[in-house]
Structure 1
């Protein structure tokens, strides 16, 4: 009986993480049964390794508090990865805004994202590079290691948790802006050039010309930036792992 209860407690953290993180199953259209089966298999594999951490815990008496605590840990870890995954989306929204494509928003039923054309493309491209770099394997490894830093029943949320999440949010916005800066600069220069053209050749309909020109410039600049975005995947992995590790060290007690 105790073994099955421990399995459910381990599953709670894994389910919270996998349920909210887009870096394990990027497609939201994937059936919930597949995710549940994968989570149970992963929990079963971790059971022999983590069983000893429950030796001093009265699992039967504390089952529901442990279940809630472990679910909360998984959700928080998943939320951090969600913020970093949205880094690509935020950078793409900067691109859409400066190129004039922000009005053409699309709802993707697979990713459950309502964003512009370039934002959707950049998000999917970034996640694809992340999967190619085996980032999901490293993330699952970290999830198993997290039990060393935050053993079951040792999680106590406090004010520093909210402060840490705010810092991550600010970091994501800053890095997304840095990724989009070359693109934004090209758009600003094109606006200046069109402004000069409008002054020197007032008979031209520069306003109508700018629509097609800015879209072409946007696509060309994005094509030039794609190799750099692929290189950025390594930095993205380091940022995600570094902040996840900082998080579990900050709220964990080791053991």
Structure 2
């Protein structure tokens, strides 16, 4: 009975992770596929998980709740860099004026517009290009050695680390969006001067088309730098997860 209980607990941790981790957390990703991926990861992680004694029904319920919460926490932390990229895209959309054309995007589960989606999918491409999905699986294997089944205990250092990660996510979002926002602020400054000099011009209509065109040109010019920035910071996804797991030691 104990091996079956251990398998169920491993599956609960991994399925909770898959539901919230990058890419698989999208609403249009089939639920059945998430379950299959969770089962495949369970088979992969089963040899690394330490054995547990047979549990009563009450203790099994407590352990399941612990494993689900721990898996959700790992999945959410692995999503932080992606969330920072989405925020950067939304900041740019707001400055360009695309926020007026926002619509609900079922893939991101948020109201998203052009640059928000562009940056998100660009980040996914870089994520797989750097082979980070394999390092993410390695971190999952590590979690069973450092945090055995049912031994999850929240510590002060864990909470402090999570708060620090949220602040780093916001810094990343601002850094990623700053060059584009500065360029668009300069456009606003020029348009303001034109409006004062030639009041007859419909500056609102001009600003929408001009800012859209300039934002696209600036985006293309900054694309190599954006890819370099993502390549530098996306490995933090795995590092954040590893630091979170090690905080339970």
- TM-score w.r.t. length of structure 1: 0.90
1:191 aligns with 2:197: no
1:160 to partner: Cα distance: 4.3
Q: Is the contact between residue 63 and residue 150 of structure 2 (CA under 8 Å) also seen in structure 1?
A: yes
Gaps of 5+ in 1: none
1:43 aligns with 2:38: no
Secondary structure, counterpart of 2:79 in structure 1: helix
Whole-angstrom distance in 2 between the partners of 1:72 and 1:138: 22
1:208 to partner: Cα distance: 2.1
Map of 1:32 onto structure 2: 31
Map of 2:86 onto structure 1: 89
Whole-angstrom distance in 2 between the partners of 1:74 and 1:221: 40
Map of 2:11 onto structure 1: 11
Secondary structure, counterpart of 1:107 in structure 2: strand
1:159 to partner: Cα distance: 4.7
Q: Is the contact between residue 132 and residue 238 of structure 2 (CA under 8 Å) also seen in structure 1?
A: no
Q: Is the contact between residue 29 and residue 111 of structure 1 (CA under 8 Å) also seen in structure 2?
A: no
RMSD: 1.8
Whole-angstrom distance in 2 between the partners of 1:146 and 1:174: 27
Residues 121 and 26 of structure 1: CA distance in aligned 2, closer, same or farther (over 3 Å):
farther
1:75 aligns with 2:72: yes
Q: Paired residue for 2:209, among 186, 208, 212?
A: 212
- Matched residues, number: 247
Q: Is the contact between residue 26 and residue 127 of structure 1 (CA under 8 Å) also seen in structure 2?
A: no
Q: Is the contact between residue 126 and residue 231 of structure 2 (CA under 8 Å) also seen in structure 1?
A: no
1:181 aligns with 2:178: yes
Whole-angstrom distance in 2 between the partners of 1:240 and 1:75: 15
1:195 to partner: Cα distance: 1.4
1:218 to partner: Cα distance: 1.2
Whole-angstrom distance in 2 between the partners of 1:156 and 1:14: 18
Matches within 5 A, 1:146-165: 146-165=143-162
Whole-angstrom distance in 2 between the partners of 1:246 and 1:107: 34
Map of 1:227 onto structure 2: 224
Matches within 5 A, 1:131-146: 131-146=128-143
Matches within 5 A, 1:49-128: 49-50=48-49, 53-54=50-51, 57-61=52-56, 62-128=59-125
Map of 1:167 onto structure 2: 164
Residues 121 and 60 of structure 1: CA distance in aligned 2, closer, same or farther (over 3 Å):
same
Whole-angstrom distance in 2 between the partners of 1:207 and 1:34: 47
Whole-angstrom distance in 2 between the partners of 1:152 and 1:6: 7
Secondary structure, counterpart of 1:59 in structure 2: coil
